[in-house]
Amino acid sequence: MIMYKLKMLKKIFLFFIPPDSWKLPVVIVLAIFTSLIFFAIYISNATSYISDDPKTCINCHVMFPQYASWQHSSHYRITNCNDCHVPHNNFISKYFFKASDGLRHATIFTLRNEPQVIEIRQAGINVVQDNCIRCHKDLVEMTSLVEVTGENHNVVKGKRCWDCHRETPHGTVKSLASAPNAIVPQLPSVIPAWLQNFITSDKKNKNNSNILILK
């Protein structure tokens, strides 16, 4: 039985090996696609999405108003984006939500399909409401607010926290043009440092050559 399975695996492996005349083109094509995948990971700063760094949320540019309003809110010194927008009930739930939500955001922003006014989805509402209560439980545990979830609000069983605290933490103006002059960190250049240095030195050499010609 083991020998049979090994033979089957060998057949499957040999099936994907191209003929000798095709090996070089296949290697070249695979190398190109592999390079493009690694470049996409590099240019999108994909590894940053594993962290809790708030700057990750402005990788896609359109989150500048949200980033700027959070910076000037009462939550700035004690929270980051993931404290509110990611579930904290367990490790698996947290990173599954981050991955699925991040992939959806990346797809929408890459295709330039984001709306003028960004609205939070129901899944996000549920998470934020739960996190409001998680952080402020000492303030609400003696009231019925501690039982309000994002879902039961839809069936008129209590108000969400931000139905009253409307300015927390992103304000009431949600248009992409609501913070045109916001001071936010500049995104790093996608050009590798060695290539940037080469371009800079090449420009300097050309300028020097032009000066010598004019003289």
Mean pLDDT is lowest, of 26-30, 60-64, 104-108, for 60-64
Residue 198: other Cβ atoms inside 10 A: 12
Over range 125-152, report the average pLDDT: 84
Collapsing DSSP to helix, strand or coil, 204 comes out as helix
Residue 127 pLDDT class (50, 70, 90 cuts): very high
In a domain, 156, yes or no: no
| 185 pLDDT above the threshold of 60 | yes
Q: What's the mean pLDDT in 43-50? A: 76
Give yes or no for a contact between 49 and 55, defined as CB atoms under 8 angstroms apart: no
Residue 148 contacts residue 133 (beta carbons within 8 Å)? yes
207 found inside a domain = no
Asked if residue 2 belongs to a domain, the reply is no
The answer to whether residue 209 is domain-embedded is: no
- How far from 213 is each of 43, 200, 202, 204, 209, CA to CA, in Å? 39, 20, 17, 14, 6
Nearest to 147 by CA among 133, 126, 127: 133
DSSP string, 1-25: -HHHHHHHHHHHHHHTSPPHHHHHH
Tokens, residue 162: 């931000």
Domain count of the fold of the chain = 1
Give pTM, 2 decimals: 0.68
- Does residue 99 lie in a domain region? no
> Within a domain: residue 11?
no
Q: Tell me, yes or no, whether 29 lies in a domain.
A: yes
Domain presence at residue 1: no
Which structural domain range is residue 47 located in?
23-52
